Amino acid sequence: MAELRDYYEVLGVKKDASADEIKRAYRTLAKKFHPDRNPGDAAAEKRFKEVQNAYQTLSDVEKRAQYDQYGAASVGKVATGPQGERMYTWGEGSHVNVEDLEDLFSAFGGSEHASIFDQFIGGRQRGRTRGRTAPPRAADEGQDIWLRFEQAVQGTTMSLRLNMGGNRQSEQVDVKIPAGVNEGQRIRVRGRVPNPYGGEPGDLILRCRIRPHAYFRREGVDIYVDVPISLTEAAFGAKVDVPTLEGFVTLSIPAGTSSGTKLRLKGRGVKQRGDSSGGDEIVVIQIVAPKKMSKEARELLEELATRIHDDPRAAAPWAARSTV
């Protein structure tokens, strides 16, 4: 069994040293004895391992308290030996068979020594709540939730079946999704991750994933939709029904509307918390030319083309360039 130096001596600090003093001492010594700075130096490598081992114990409040009371053997861990046996190891190579250690403490008799053994072998896995340090808070866990386009824009309450893994049972929880959430936005549900050590539970972090809509799309707080109209509706103007998230509304198309024109429906967009007005719905006009025409309709269009002398490319940015 390797002989262990006192961890405080290894770091060169007093037993009442603060956490900052321990950290500063560790950084100085780790830098001094790091293998990259001492290639081939076995003594420096050994010192570096001693410094690492000492800091791992003294930087942890719970391990430090255990070390101060029972010494280095109290901050070891259970590992599997080469023959499959359970070995309790600590320091730099010190170890003992778990069964032998249990027999050793049992020989002393009494609950006090049994308690010490329990702390050595299994107490840390069960939180060690014997008046020293409180069990750590459970780690937060993340989970994706898929929302329909309408749910993300308008907000909703979802009943989710949550399963945080391991042997924990799933549970159903109602989660309120605020209006106007964005793709990838995170929603924190506090206290929903149980703590196996009996300490403070963690939070569930829900990441919003939004399914694309069949014809709506979102840009910021505005919702866009393409609306096709005919040549005559564009030329003479018309009233057409267009979809919104609240249902259809009638929109007036001005005479002479061009393809790509954007008409605005106020207040029909995304409403977010703290924004009373919200965004708008933008209707993008798409003029659709007829694919099939009767002979009479074609003749009428040809006659119309001879009577209308407007040049749609007259205002194009290249119109002013001289031709060669």
Most confident of 2-6, 111-115, 249-253: 249-253
Q: How far apart are CA 26 and CA 54, in angstroms?
A: 9
Does the pLDDT at position 100 exceed 80?
A: no
pLDDT single digits (tens) 101-160? 555 444 444 444 444 445 554 544 444 444 456 678 888 888 899 999 999 999 999 988
Q: Answer with the residue of higher pLDDT: 316 or 8.
A: 8
Look at residue 108 in the predicted model and tell me its pLDDT: 44
* CATH superfamily for domain 141-210: Urease metallochaperone UreE, N-terminal domain (2.60.260.20)
Look at residue 129 in the predicted model and tell me its pLDDT: 42
Residues 6+ apart with CB under 8 A from 61: 133
171-191 average pLDDT score = 90
Look at residue 150 in the predicted model and tell me its pLDDT: 95
Q: How far apart are CA 16 and CA 38, in angstroms?
A: 31
66-74 average pLDDT score = 70
* Per-residue confidence band for 265, with pLDDT thresholds at 50, 70 and 90: very high
* Per-residue confidence band for 83, with pLDDT thresholds at 50, 70 and 90: low
Name the architecture of domain 217-298. Sandwich (2.60)
| In the chain, where the domains are located | 7-126, 141-210, 217-298
17-21 average pLDDT score = 89
Look at residue 317 in the predicted model and tell me its pLDDT: 82
Q: How many helices (H) and strands (E) does the chain have?
A: 9, 14
CATH fold group of domain 7-126: Helix Hairpins (1.10.287)
Q: How far apart are CA 262 and CA 284, in angstroms?
A: 5
Does the pLDDT at position 241 exceed 80?
A: yes
In the chain, what percentage of residues exceed pLDDT 70?
73
Alpha helices by DSSP H, 34-174: 42-58, 61-70, 98-108, 110-118, 149-154
Q: How far apart are CA 107 and CA 99, in angstroms?
A: 12
CATH topology match: 7-126 vs 217-298: no
Helix crossing, 110-118 with 98-108: angle to 10°? 160
